[in-house]
Structure 1
Amino acid sequence: MLLPSHSEVQMVTQSRLHRTLGYPNATYGSLLLTLGGQKQKTITVQKPHIQTFPVELRLEIFSHLELKPYVISHGVCKAWKQELPHAILHPIRRRMLDSCRTLRDMLGVWEHCQFYVEDLQPFDRDNYINTLLEQYPVIPEEFVFWIREWPERLALEYMWPGLPFRPCVQELFENAVNWFGYLPHSPQLSAIRYYYWTPAVKFVPVLLIYRNSDSTVWLILDKDEPDIFGKVIELSTTRGDAPTIIPHPEPEDLDDDSSWEDDGGPLMISHPDWITFQVAEWTTFAQTGLKHRKIKTFPTPANFSLNAPSALHLPAPRWIDRSLPSSLAILQK
């Protein structure tokens, strides 16, 4: 059968009229066909609407929502509120959702968040991750999800790229510096040492999170070291320990995975991934109380000084400079 010519096909669009009249399930349009001079035949096309989809298809759509739209979708209607919990979320996104709910129930958390809302600055989240990937090809997945989707109003004051490079405003951590806020539009990886005092000594790529007078916190990115990849480590400096050397005790010397110790106390506190670390930090805040203090931001760029005890100094060379003679000399010391 020959297809009708263009002159034999007329399209009459009724959707605008029906939307004006307020019909939610209005016809999207009508197609009038005149075939060989015969009687006109009308084909009605319904306007697509997500509520007309099968439940299984809606759940599939819900499963691909990022964290913020997924949470907001609970307020669309009662049907969605009942269906959304049945969507199969990515495991990391599910953990972030559970973390949001945990933080929501912590005493004083919301009040603390309001202290620094006015200081939040926008930054390109995808560019932040891409800039790190240009320096090292693998970023822990939990960290990538968190940067791209975590609500900025639920970020710890001293651990968010959109907050100033300055000391933490919370009284307990007044000396903690938000290194996360250092050059947020062009973040730089650092190089610290692993297997120190062994022939296998090497640099590993890390991101500096914050420093205070007692410790330095790093996110480890070395994909060739699965035992430490993706972990967040807090290196002690209370006894003059270097903030740029990751301890490597023998397995039999380890009591558990949370801390590595010697006779003088913990050399390192280790968290298995970024999300676990975030919840642990929030728990500390909730237990110790919160107090707002306004402090001026620091000028950039910051000075580099190897193993500097001051929280205001970058204590390790940049990862991109690891092959320079000055950096290689650090390994040979």
Structure 2
Amino acid sequence: MRIARWRHSGSATVGEGFVVGDRVVPFPGGLSVAQVLAAGLPAALRLHEGLDAGDGAPLAEVMLLSPLVPAAIRDFVAFEEHVEGVSASVDGRSEVVPQWYEAPTFYFTNPHTVLGPADPVSPPVTERLDFELEIAVVIGAVEGSDGTNLTPARAAEHVFGYTVMNDWSARDLQAREMKVRLGPAKGKDFGTSLGPWIVTADELHGFLDEEGFLAVRARARVNGELVGEDLVSNAGWPLPELVAYASRNSRVVPGDVLGSGTTGNGGCLGELWGRRGALDPPPLREGDTVSLWIEGIGELRTVVGPAVPAPAVPAARPRPRNRHRGGTPVLLSDTDRSG
């Protein structure tokens, strides 16, 4: 079962519903993707049963949007091979720190700059634009669960479906900010592509191996040339364990998106740069087409648009580290002491 959002050419109205064969069919009753996720996967399956595949419009006549408006986006770094390569591209030394193996690490990225399949990416001014091939989990509701401190088994029930994710990266910006031991931030938050649709978890159940890893193939092409290929099952943790970790002393809610992190063996250019010791293949440029494909889900294609200059950032100003205003000691009042 595939779920999508779309817009007809020249229309501002957003359609939300199922992709049935080569047609898009709106949800009954004008429901939204957010409402369907909030009802959970079993309810979505029942909703799909009564559809007339002849309803709706041809898929070729609509522009696909991001399949959901995420409540939040967490992005993990779950592939050891990716970490090995990218670390070498940053400081010339391939390294996976011991802490990586202890727990699946993630960062939060920007839900306000999500792009759909038809949207070009508009990067900042950068000399090292890169893509990242990831599978993303979309969270749905589960009866009797608030999404907090989930076990892996309970977390698996919250996996409503999957989509393809491209975590765009300006590697030169990212490298600078990571030296401050915080981030990534501006090196990534300008765009995250999702699509082409959500494929519900039941559709990929047959690809689960005995340990619960999702053994689907993933491929990345730039301008039609294959640059990366991997199995999602090469991640260090099964996807439900990522969901469980995200919920640890916290909460996951319907509409959350959890990226797996970049696949290995060329899931991004940065890994290849680190392994080869050179910018080979070259960084992305305006007009390049990046095609990311995951077995059982589909292909997410994006064209790189022109870079968008931003206002200059002033450097930090040296400060004297005074402890008193104007050289005169300041006595704390009782109010100051209490607050």
Larger radius of gyration: 1
TM over 0.5: no
Greater strand percent: which structure? 2
Greater helix percent: which structure? 1
Shorter chain as normaliser: what TM range? under 0.3
With a CA cutoff of 8 Å and minimum separation of 6, indicate the structure with the bigger relative contact order.
2
